[in-house]
Each structure stands twice: as structure tokens, then as C-alpha cells.
Amino acid sequence: MLYPAKFEKEESGLYAVSFRDIPEAITCGDDYDDAVKMAKDALLTCMDFYFEDHRRVPLPSAPAEGEVLIELPASVFAKVLLLNEMIEQNVSNAELARRINAKPQEVQRITNLGHITKIDTIAKAITALGKQFELRIV
């Protein structure tokens, strides 16, 4: 999942970075490379806000001219898709646990960005929501 980011070089030489799809993600860097690193960190940090608040994560829009694409790690992307589908269907962690025959604590770990979850587990959860999880190379 690639989110378009706007990089603006300031008079001071710093680079200000913002994401139109994730307005909470605002950062800056001492130089371009540092700004890219900070942008990745800001984007990932903001995903935590959406998960903590149980809010739908906006998916990335098409990049505009001059925007830089910042990648969200695939493991986080998979969890974002799961969260969005749970919200769309109004399925709680407890209900998802029932559907996949797991303890509610296990689902809490699945939907926790700080916890490493096997891709098969995420796929099982998405399947339990009546969707198909598909990986492909483009």
C-alpha cells in the first residue's frame, strides 16, 4: 500500500511532509532522505491512532504530480484491510473470535499493529468475514 506524500522544501532546508489521505501524518526531515524516513515513521504511527480509535483507515488515493509514494509495510496493510472490513460489517473482536474459533485475546493480538501476526491468520480472519484474501505480484 503506497500513500502519496507531499514534500515541501522550506527556506531553512528542512523538508515538510504531509499526507492528504492521512491528515494526522505530518512530519519533517533535516534533508530529503531524513524526510522519507520520518514520513514512513509518521504514516505507521498514525495507523496506530486508527486502530486504537477503531476507525476506518482511508485507503491511498492516486498520487498527484510531484508527490512521493511512501510504502506502508505489507503486514500493516493486511491488518488495515482486516480492520476496515470489520468496521464495514460492524463485527467486534469477540464476534470475529467466535467466527474463527479463537479466544477474544487472540483476535486482540491479530488487530494489534505491535504484534507480529502470520499472514495465514489474517487471511483466516478475512475469510471469516466473507471476503477473500489474495496476494499477487504486480
Question: Which CATH number characterizes residue 8's domain?
Answer: 3.30.160.250
Take residue 123 and report the three cell numbers written for it: 487471511
Q: What is the pLDDT of residue 67?
A: 97
The pLDDT value given to residue 135: 86
Return the pLDDT at 101. Answer: 96
Rounded to whole angstroms, the Cα distance separating 45 from 105 reads: 23
Domain count, the chain: 2
What pLDDT, on the 0 to 100 scale, is given for residue 93? 94
- Regarding whether 67 and 120 lie in a shared domain, the answer is no
DSSP state of 31: S
Considering the domain architecture, whether residues 78 and 59 belong to the same structural domain is answered as: no
**63 domain-assigned:** yes
Is the pTM value of this prediction over 0.75?
yes
What does the pLDDT read at residue 138?
Answer: 80
- Give the mean pLDDT per block of 10 residues along the chain (138 residues): 96 96 97 97 96 96 96 95 97 96 94 94 97 88
Domain span at residue 18 reads 2-71
Contact between residue 122 and residue 135 where contact means Cβ atoms under 8 Å apart: no
Task: Give yes or no: residues 83 and 104 share one domain.
Answer: yes
Tell whether 136 is covered by a domain: no
Give the model's pLDDT for residue 137: 84
> Looking at residue 115, what is its pLDDT?
94
